[in-house]
Amino acid sequence: MVIKNVSLETVCGITSKIPENKHPEVAFAGKSNVGKSSLINALMNRKSLARTSSQPGKTQTINYYNVNDAIYFVDLPGYGYARANENVKAQWGRMIENYLHKSRQLKTVFLLVDIRHAPSANDAVMYDWICNNSFQPVIVATKLDKIKRSQIQKQIRQIRDTLGASENTLIIPFSAQTKQGKEEIYEVIDTFLEIKTPSQMGE
């Protein structure tokens, strides 16, 4: 995947209607401190287009990034912020579930978990939501540079076992520092890009 241009096209709040986009969408979900913005910025080859709120838990929206006018990267609200009250947490949950249920162009969801730890209860709930909406999640194990190479397979097994994920579930270790895993994620995204035939290109 070659990134030519990106733009933040749509921002949806709690009361916003899910847009009916014409291009495929791939979504990114994860708890508020898992490195989601860093991953999305790395994929878009931008330093700070996807911004982390200075007040986690305050600014929570669904952000649609138009990439190459061919596909959307959809940044879902970070969940699990400990200081958010229960009403706010419930609103985030409804936003995410509404998107998973109603988006007609959503092709897959990348679920981010911290490779250093077993997935949390919130991670498990999100994994189940994704599966219950008929999607096969791709798990991205972030912060790869924080562990030793010898620990990688053990941590991946822990993630798979904790979530109850099958052996067919793809788990991609990723580091925002070294960009390891970036090409593997691109390969997944590329499968959802529309490939035009010669006749369509001549239209």
Tell me the two tokens of residue 39: 């991953």
The span from the CA of 122 to the CA of 197, in Å, is 43
**Segment holding 154, helix H or strand E:** helix 152-163
Task: pLDDT band for 200, please (50, 70, 90 cuts).
Answer: very low
Q: How many CA atoms lie within 13 A of 149 on its CB side?
A: 1
Q: What is the pLDDT of residue 95?
A: 87
Tell me the two tokens of residue 162: 């904790």
pLDDT of residue 199 exceeding 90, the answer is no
Whole-model pTM: value is: 0.89
DSSP-derived letter for residue 168 is: T
pLDDT of residue 203 exceeding 60, the answer is no
What confidence tens digit (pLDDT) does each residue in 138-177 have? 999 999 999 999 999 999 999 999 999 999 999 999 999 9
Range 181-200 average pLDDT: 78
DSSP-derived letter for residue 146 is: G
- List, as one string, the DSSP characters of 87-140: HHHHHHHHHHHHHHHH-SSEEEEEEEEETTSPPPHHHHHHHHHHHHTT---EEE
Tell me the two tokens of residue 196: 């035009």
Sequence-distant (≥ 6) Cβ neighbours of residue 144 within 8 angstroms: 115, 152, 173, 174, 175, 178, 180, 181
pLDDT of residue 41 exceeding 70, the answer is yes
Q: What is the pLDDT of residue 64?
A: 96
Range 66-83 average pLDDT: 88
Q: What is the pLDDT of residue 86?
A: 73
The span from the CA of 125 to the CA of 89, in Å, is 13
Q: What is the pLDDT of residue 84?
A: 64
What is the chain's length?
203
Range 68-93 average pLDDT: 81
- Are 41 and 52 in contact by the 8 Å Cβ rule? The answer is no
Task: pLDDT band for 92, please (50, 70, 90 cuts).
Answer: confident
